[in-house]
Each structure stands twice: as C-alpha cells, then as structure tokens.
Amino acid sequence: MTNEERDINKEIKQVDLTGGEEAKLLGEIVFEDVLKGQRKHRYSANKVDFAFNRLCDLHPVGNRVEGGLLVSVVTPLADEYDAYEKSRCLLESSGEGGHVIFRLGNDDGLGRELRAYIQTDKYLKQKNDGTLPQSTLRILSERGQDNQHRRERLVKLLGDMLAGAEVYAAGEPLKPKAGKPEGMLRSRWST
C-alpha cells in the first residue's frame, strides 16, 4: 500500500457520522434491497391490501400511511436492542391496531461494515471533484468499487439476519413459512 493509499484510508476512517445515518441506511437496505420495496400486504382471505408503515431501529422509513400496518425491524445497532427481549416484543406487537416486529439476531460485523460503507460513501462524494491527480482518482475509484462490494455484503448479511429473525405480531411469536426474506411479508404464518 502506498503512502497516498494509507492517507486516504485514514481520512475515510475520520469521516464523522451523524446519529440517524446508520438507521437510515439500514432501513433502506432492509426494506428496499432485501424486502424488494414491498409497501403492502394482500390478505388472501378477502383480497384486501394493507399498506405498511415501516420502521428500522425506531426510525421511519419512507412515507407514513394513515391506518397502515406497522412493520418494525429492530437490529443489533438499535440503542434499545437489549430491551427488545421476547416479553417486550410480544407486548408492543399487540398495540396500535397491528404491529409486526422483526428482531434480528446479533452480528458483530454489521456495525463495522455499515460504518465503513457510510464513511467511504461520504468521503468519495466530498473528495471526488475531478481536479485531483490521476493516482488519487485511481485510488478513489478502487475505494468506490470496494464500497459497492461492501453494500452487496450488507444486503446479503441483512437478508440472512432477517430470515433468521424472531418475528412477533398481535402479541404472538410467529414463524414465517417463506424461505427467502423478500417473501416474509407476503408469507403465511404459523404460531
């Protein structure tokens, strides 16, 4: 690694993150990439659509729909993650006229990968102004490609975590019958 590459890596690690950036990106990846942008569920018995209001670590994702079913994903990066034990999930899922909670398992690599992705993305947007030397542009391009791969890893990791999540709705623990994460919100459920 050249001195310039080391300097850029050091600068990337020093990029500041704001409190909501992690939750915003988590919500985007979970609901848009993993769950494929689903915004409603069709109840097969009467063929009625129910819109979703989406939360990730208690931060809203997208627009809120009046009367929508609340779908909340709690990741290990949530401030209150440890407080979301089974009894709290059962209690909270029975409120607000319909609430589904996905409590993801813990994975130590999630926070590290997520922070690295956000820091690199912010750094590249700030730094890449076109007036830089060719060697710097090459390094930034490589960091951008690495970051694309990092996002792909995050999508896979969060998909795996969602597939293995504890799920609660209407005060009951549920087991989705869908095998893939994107089918979980359309899934039939068993208690």
Give the pLDDT confidence score for residue 48 in this predicted structure: 79
Residue 103 in 3-state DSSP? strand
Q: Which residue has the higher pLDDT, 40 or 163?
A: 163
Pairing of the two strands 99-103 and 40-43: unpaired
The mean predicted confidence, pLDDT, of the chain is 88
CA distances (Å), origin 113, targets 30, 34, 124, 176 = 15, 16, 16, 28
CB 173 within 8 Å of CB 166: yes
Distance CA 53, CA 40 (A): 9
Q: What is the mean pLDDT of residues 172-179?
A: 78
Q: What is the mean pLDDT of residues 120-125?
A: 95
Residue range 38-92, pLDDT digits in tens = 888 777 778 878 888 999 999 999 988 888 889 999 999 999 999 999 999 999 9
